[in-house]
Each structure stands twice: as structure tokens, then as C-alpha cells.
Amino acid sequence: MGLSHYKTFILVVTIALALLLASPSIQPLLVYPQTDNLTEFWMFGPNHDASYPTNITADQNYRVYLDLTNRLGVAAYYKVEIKFRNQTQSGPDSFNRTSSDLPALSSITIVAADNATEEVPLDISFQYHMADAPSTILHMDTVTVNGFAIDANATTIAWDKDRGGYFGDLIFELWLYNQTTNSFQYHQRYLNLFLKLNW
């Protein structure tokens, strides 16, 4: 029984050994499943779940959490434009992927590393008044975000006969900074809270 009886065994062992030795160099060549480059954008209510404030009382504080996960493959710089509209004003369009034409009340800035999730808590309250009777128009005064009262008196809300109430829409539009054009571009994502403003 010479070594020649083990020739196949020796060949298999050396191939296995060579593969084992080469594995750290081969590993970077492996192609892992790729996901689409996108940004996840969602919102939580005051209890960090999907129960959102909908019935609004003037001057009462409501907390919401805006969350985003950056899956663009690079660190990204975002801004969230906060807008408030009545039912007749322009809103963002999911089908045409366009933002609302309304000017933003204000915006907040978020920076996220690749694959990182960021959360921004927002404390929001609404200040409004009714026009003198017998009017059925509700006048917005300010929307207070994290303690800053932002003028919203350009918005008036008419009584909705069908649904029986005054309804407004608080919108959060996501914009992404484009490093090529050095400007923010609408990232085709928005969240909104449809609110019944009680009086």
C-alpha cells in the first residue's frame, strides 16, 4: 500500500484546503441579493403605534413620531415640509407623484446614514377660531410645532355638510437633497393626518 492508493484523497484534500485558504478573498466577490434604492417613511401616533390623533381640540397638544429608514445606499440629507390644507386646497398626488402646491408652514431636517433609521418626535397643537355667528367658517390662527407657533391664518375651513364637521389635512412631504443640483427634490413620499377640528 503506497501513497498512490491515496492519490484521490490527497487531491480532494488539497482542493478543499485551497478553497478554504482562498475563502477570505472569494467572499467579497459573492453577489448578495440587491434591494431597490428607496427611503421608507412612516409615522406613529402618541403611543408609538398606528393609533393617530384625528379628533382635534384647539390648543391641545398631540404627539406624533416621524420615522424614516435610508436604503439609498449612501448617507442622505432630507427635509420634511409641513403643510396644512383644507379640503379644497392642493394636496400631494400619489399617482402623479407630485407635491402639494401649498407653501410649507415650516420644515424639519433629517440626516440618515445608509441603512439607518431616524425618528423625529413632533408635538403639534392647533389654534383656531370661529368667525362671528351665523358664519360656518373656521379660521386657522397658528399651528404650533415643537413649541413654535407658526402662522396659518391664510387657511379657512368650511363646514362639511356630508361628514358633519370641520376637516383639515396635516401633510408631511419628504424631500431629498440632490448633491448634483445642490437643491432639494420631492422624494415622492408623504404622510398625512386627516383631522376633524372640533369647535
Partner 1 sequence: MTQTRLTRDILLAALVLCTLTSTFQLAQSQGAESAINQASNTLASTCQAAAQAQAAGANVDGLMTTLNEAADLLSKAQLANAAGDYSAANNYASQCQSKITGVTAEASRLQQEALNQKSQSTTFTVLNLLVSVAVLFSGVVAWFVLNKRERRSTDGAKSL
- Closest to partner 1 by CB, 93 or 114: 114
What's the CA angle centered on 107, arms 73 and 54, to 5 degrees?
A: 100
Which spans of this chain sit near partner 1 (rule: CB under 8 A)? 2-8, 10-11, 13-15, 17-19, 21-22, 24-25, 28, 74-77, 105-114, 116, 118, 120, 145-146, 148-151, 177, 179, 182
Q: How far is the CB of 44 from partner 1 (least distance, A)?
A: 18
CB nearer to partner 1: give 29 or 31. Answer: 29
- Is 123 within 8 Å of 62 (Cβ atoms)? yes
- Shortest distance (Å) from residue 171 CB to partner 1: 15
Q: How far apart are the first and last CA of the chain?
A: 100
Smallest distance, Å, CB 80 to partner 1?
9
Tell me whether strands 183-198 and 55-57 are parallel, antiparallel or unpaired: parallel
The CA distance from 129 to 131, in Å, is 7
**Closest separation in Å from C-beta 170 to partner 1:** 15
> By C-beta, is 131 or 154 nearer to partner 1?
154
Phi, psi at 60, each rounded to 5°? -90, 140
